[in-house]
Amino acid sequence: MRHHLAMATHKFFGDRGFYYLNSPILTAVDAEGAGEMFNVTTFDLQKVPHTKEGQVDYKRDYFGKATSLCVTGQLEGECFAMGMGAVYTFGPTFRAENSNTPRHLSEFWMIEPEVAFMDLEGNAELAADYVKYLIKYAFDHASEELEALRKYHQFSAKGTNEKYENHLEILEKVAASDFEQITYTKAIEILSQSGKKFEFKPEWGVELQTEHERYLAEEYFKGPVTVTDYPKDCKAFYMKQNDDGKTVRAMDVLVPGVGEIIGGSQREEDIDKLITRMDQMGMEKDPLWWYLDLRRFGTAPHSGFGLGFERALRYVTGMKNIRDVIPFPRTPKNCDF
């Protein structure tokens, strides 16, 4: 299934004129501004050199600066999109998030398209087409595997209190659906008026939880839905700011069974707004001089999204835990083999 969905990814974007980009794995930039990155060093950790001020002397390290494993190839993708129109990355990414949920890995593969002259609406349409393409490709090229997985899930649920849902029927419905689209503000309104008791109360200004996402996709819309225009404080620095000063042109694609499967945005092309946002978040601008230069002398509107490959695999195969769709899972306190 990994093979088939990887081939589907390359064919989907290749047939649409996208260029396949190999983005870096090592970086000196915290692209998401969240700080959840793995450090890379050649220092002997028992003898780390320090400056006279007592700070770690990164000038004596291999790259001469603090370096980490990438959490995304997006920023480099934006560079290539400005020159080549439409590109996509498909490679390993790393996040040092201390999470042991069935949705998270520390090492995972990410697909990230980036397109010049594409707004958020075009981005949402591309994301929906891609999800539907992956599902249809799996049915066309891996029908025997899908049927074997269906029987596996049915057997696993037998004799338990677990409700068995034929995930193939869910996939078929999503592949044939038009994706609904609502704003985050409307989503909060729907959730608040639902009468459903959530573990986490839906409040404007706070990220949607998986239980909220699944309610929207499974119970309210009974199909896939794209939520747009999130509060800027919930999202990364590079997302295009709306005129209301409170929200950004972000989107999450929600599907029945898992909730969010794709996240993306239109990027901020106004350099002054971008710098102001970075200052508000306390980010260092010097390491991102090249990213700012994409806007400094004029630029184009552009958008993109990210899909964790293992999340797509988990969805198409119907597996409950993301660790079951990658051969050697890396998670907190687990890095065997």
Give the alpha-carbon dihedral of 313, 317, 321, 325, to 10 degrees: -50
Average pLDDT, integer, range 68-95: 95
Amino acid (one-letter) located at 129: D
Give me the pLDDT at residue 116, please.
Answer: 97
Is 307's pLDDT higher than 80? yes
> Is 60 within the bounds of a domain?
no
- Full residue range of the structural domain in which residue 276 is found: 2-36+71-325
* pLDDT at 163 (0 to 100): 73
Domain membership of residue 65 (yes or no) is no
Using DSSP, state whether 68 is helix, strand or coil: strand
Mean pLDDT value across residues 283-310: 94
Residue 322: pLDDT band by 50, 70, 90 thresholds? very high
Q: Domains in the chain: how many in total?
A: 1
Residue 23 in 3-state DSSP? coil
| Position 13 in a domain | yes
> Which residues does 103 contact at the CB level (< 8 Å), separation at least 6?
210, 258, 311, 314, 322
Alpha carbon distance 23, 230 (integer Å):
27
> Model confidence at 112, in pLDDT bands (50, 70, 90)?
very high
**333, part of any domain:** no
The whole-model pTM stands at: 0.94
Q: Is residue 9 part of a domain?
A: yes
CA distances from 83 to 26, 31, 90, 274, 304 (A): 22, 20, 19, 21, 15
pLDDT for 33: 63
Residue 321 included in any domain: yes
Average pLDDT, the chain: 94
- What is the full DSSP assignment across 290-302? HHHHHHHT----E
The model's pLDDT over 1-54, given as tens digits with 9 standing for 90+, comes to 999 999 999 999 999 999 999 999 999 988 776 668 999 999 999 999 999 999
* 136-152: average pLDDT: 96
- Looking at the domain assignment, is residue 48 inside a domain? no
Structure confidence by residue, pLDDT tens digits, 23-36: 999 999 887 766 68
Q: What is the CATH number of the domain that holds 78?
A: 3.30.930.10
> What is the per-residue pLDDT for 36?
87
Decide if 157 is inside a domain. Answer: yes
pLDDT at 158: 83
Confidence of residue 164 (pLDDT cuts 50, 70, 90): confident
Q: pLDDT per residue over 194-206, tens digit each? A: 999 999 999 999 9
Residue 161 has pLDDT above 80, yes or no: no
| Predicted pLDDT of residue 35 | 62
Task: Specify the residue for token string 């350099």.
Answer: 271
CA distances from 222 to 45, 60, 208, 210, 317 (A): 53, 57, 18, 15, 20
CA distance 305 to 111: 8
